C-alpha cells in the first residue's frame, strides 16, 4: 500500500514538473514571437517644395477718396454703395447758380477787354498811317517837331501791349470761373465700385471728409514684407499660392509684381507686392490672406514622409521592412517641408519604410504591418 502511494506521488510530481516546463516554453516562445505594429509607405521620386507662409491684409489695386474742390450745397447724388462706376461718370453735383453767374461776369469782362483790344489795334493802325504822312511833311519842314512827335507817340505799340495784358487777365478770370463751374460736377477719377457715400442731396459738401470713396477690385493687392533670408529666394513674376478662407476654400494664385531692394524704414524686412486677379469680386478689401512663398525646391528626388526619420545616437535613421523584419538605415537628408523630406543618401526608390511605430523598433524587430 505504501509503495502504491509513493508511486502515485512520484507520478503527480512528474506531471506537475512537465506541465510547468511546458508553460515556460510557451511563455518563452510567446516572448520570442512578439511583433511591433507599424504602418509603412514606399519611398518615391517626386518634386519637393519648401514654403514660407506670410500673413497680410488685402487691398484694392486702386482706390480713391473723392473730396469736392469747393464747398457747396449738394443738388444731386447719382451713386450708392455697391454701384459700379466708370472713370469720368458723374458722382454728384453742387449748386451752380453763383458759379454760372460768375462765368457770365467773367465772360462779359473778357468780351469788353477783347473789344477794347480790337479798337486799340484799329486806332494804332490809323495812327501809323498818319505818322507816315506826317513824317514826309516833317522832313519837308511843313510841321514842327513837337507836332510830329505827337503823331509818333500815337503810332507806338505801347498802348497795344497794355490792352493786350488786360485781355490776357480777363481770359484767366474766365478760365478760372469756368473751372469752378466744372468743379461743381464731380466725376469718378477711376473705374470701380462705390465703397462709401457720405453726402446727401440738400447737404453742404466740404473738404472735411471724403464725399464718395471708390475701389477698383478687378485686381487686389497684398503688401507684405520678407526677411533678408528670403529676399533672394523670390523674384518678380513668381506665382504664389494664397489662402483667403473668408473668400473661398480653394487657394488663389497671385503674382509677385514688386520687390524692394532696400529694407523698409525702421525695419529689417523688405517690402514686396503681390497682385491677384479678382474679376468675380470674391476677394474683398480688408480680408486676411496667407501667402505661401516657395523658398526652396527640387525636382525628381527621393522622398519619404518627414515623420519617418528618427534621430538615434545622434544620427538620422530610417527603418525599412523586408519579410516582416525591420532594418536600420542611416540616411542623409536634404530639404524638408514638414510633410515630406528629401533623402540624399541611404534609401532607394520603392523601398518600404516605416512611417508610424518606428520609435519602438530596433534592428531585427519583427513587425506587423497595419493595412
Tell me whether residue 268 is in a domain.
yes
pLDDT tens by residue, 36-45: 999 999 999 9
Of 297, 317, 344, the position where a domain reaches its end is: 297
Q: Is residue 104 in a domain?
A: yes
CA 349 to chain centre: 41
Residues 176 and 229 in one domain: no
The residue whose grid cell reads 487657394 is 251
Does residue 139 belong to any structural domain of this protein?
yes
- The secondary structure of 218-273 as a DSSP string is EEEEEEEEE-HHHHTT--TT-EEEEE-TTT-SSPEEEEEEEE-SSPPTT-SSEEEE
Same domain membership, residue 273 and residue 141: no
pLDDT in tens, 52-96: 899 999 999 999 999 998 889 999 999 999 999 999 999 999 999
Same domain for 312 and 195: no
Q: Give the pLDDT score at 140.
A: 57
End residue of a domain, out of 297, 327, 344: 297
CA distance 208 to 206: 5
Question: Tell me, what's the pLDDT at 339?
Answer: 93
Q: Do both 330 and 270 map to the same domain?
A: no
- The mean of the pLDDT values for the chain is 85
- Tell whether 162 is covered by a domain: yes
Rounded to 5°, the CA angle 346-349-353 comes to 70
Q: Is residue 226 part of a domain?
A: yes
In a domain, 24, yes or no: no
**What's the domain range around 350?**
36-48+299-369
Between CA 19 and CA 315 the distance in angstroms is: 48
Residue 54's beta-bridge partner residues? 291
Question: Which of the residues in the chain have pLDDT under 70?
Answer: 1-33, 124, 126-158
pTM strictly above 0.85: no
d(CA 248, CA 282) in angstroms, rounded, equals: 8
Regarding whether 203 and 81 lie in a shared domain, the answer is yes
CA gap 157, 167 in Å, rounded = 15
The pLDDT value recorded for residue 28 is 45
Residues 201, 222 share a domain: no
Report d(CA 135, CA 151) in Å as an integer.
Answer: 9
Pick left, alpha or beta for residue 138 (phi over 0 → left; psi -120 to 50 → alpha; otherwise beta): alpha
pLDDT of 217: 92
| Judgement on whether residues 242 and 285 belong to the same structural domain of the protein | yes
CATH of the domain at 193: 2.40.50.100
Geometric angle at alpha carbon 242, from 236 and 245, rounded to 5°:
160
Residue 256 maps to a domain: yes
Distances (CA, A) of 31 to 25, 28, 35, 36, 366: 10, 5, 9, 12, 11
Give how many domains the chain has, as a whole number.
4
- The verdict on residue 353 lying in a domain is yes
Residues 63/214, Cβ–Cβ less than 8 Å: yes
The vertex-144 CA angle with 138 and 150, nearest 5°, equals 85
Amino acid at each position: 500500500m505504501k509503495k502504491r502511494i509513493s508511486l502515485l506521488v512520484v507520478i503527480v510530481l512528474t506531471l506537475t514538473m512537465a506541465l510547468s516546463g511546458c508553460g515556460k516554453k510557451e511563455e518563452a516562445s510567446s516572448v520570442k514571437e512578439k511583433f511591433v505594429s507599424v504602418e509603412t509607405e514606399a519611398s518615391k521620386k517626386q518634386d519637393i517644395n519648401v514654403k514660407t507662409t506670410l500673413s497680410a491684409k488685402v487691398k484694392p489695386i486702386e482706390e480713391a477718396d473723392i473730396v469736392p474742390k469747393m464747398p457747396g450745397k449738394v443738388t444731386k447724388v447719382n451713386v450708392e454703395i455697391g454701384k459700379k462706376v466708370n472713370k469720368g461718370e458723374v458722382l454728384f453735383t453742387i449748386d451752380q447758380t453763383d458759379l454760372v453767374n460768375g462765368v457770365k461776369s467773367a465772360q462779359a469782362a473778357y468780351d469788353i477787354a477783347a473789344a477794347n483790344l480790337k479798337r486799340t489795334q484799329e486806332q494804332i493802325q490809323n495812327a501809323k498811317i498818319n505818322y507816315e504822312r506826317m513824317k514826309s511833311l516833317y522832313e519837308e519842314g511843313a510841321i514842327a517837331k513837337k507836332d510830329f512827335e505827337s503823331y509818333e507817340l500815337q503810332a507806338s505799340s505801347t498802348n497795344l501791349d497794355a490792352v493786350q495784358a488786360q485781355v490776357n487777365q480777363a481770359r484767366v478770370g474766365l478760365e478760372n470761373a469756368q473751372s469752378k463751374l466744372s468743379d461743381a460736377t464731380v466725376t469718378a477719377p477711376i473705374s470701380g465700385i462705390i465703397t462709401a457715400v457720405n453726402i446727401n442731396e440738400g447737404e453742404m459738401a466740404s473738404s472735411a471728409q471724403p464725399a464718395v470713396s471708390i475701389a477698383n477690385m478687378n485686381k487686389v493687392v497684398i503688401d507684405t514684407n520678407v526677411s533678408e533670408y528670403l529676399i533672394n529666394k523670390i523674384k518678380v513674376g513668381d506665382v504664389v499660392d494664397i489662402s483667403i478662407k473668408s473668400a473661398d476654400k480653394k487657394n488663389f494664385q497671385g503674382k509677385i509684381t514688386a520687390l524692394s531692394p532696400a529694407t523698409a524704414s525702421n525695419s529689417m524686412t523688405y517690402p514686396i507686392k503681390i497682385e491677384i486677379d479678382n474679376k468675380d469680386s470674391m476677394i474683398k478689401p480688408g480680408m486676411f490672406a496667407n501667402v505661401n512663398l516657395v523658398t526652396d525646391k527640387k525636382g525628381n528626388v527621393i522622398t519619404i514622409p518627414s515623420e519617418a526619420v528618427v534621430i538615434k545616437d545622434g544620427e538620422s535613421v530610417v527603418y525599412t521592412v523586408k519579410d516582416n523584419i525591420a532594418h536600420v538605415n542611416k540616411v542623409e537628408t536634404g530639404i524638408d517641408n514638414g510633410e515630406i523630406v528629401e533623402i540624399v543618401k541611404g534609401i532607394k526608390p520603392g523601398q518600404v519604410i516605416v512611417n508610424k511605430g518606428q520609435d519602438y523598433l530596433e534592428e531585427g524587430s519583427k513587425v506587423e504591418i497595419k493595412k
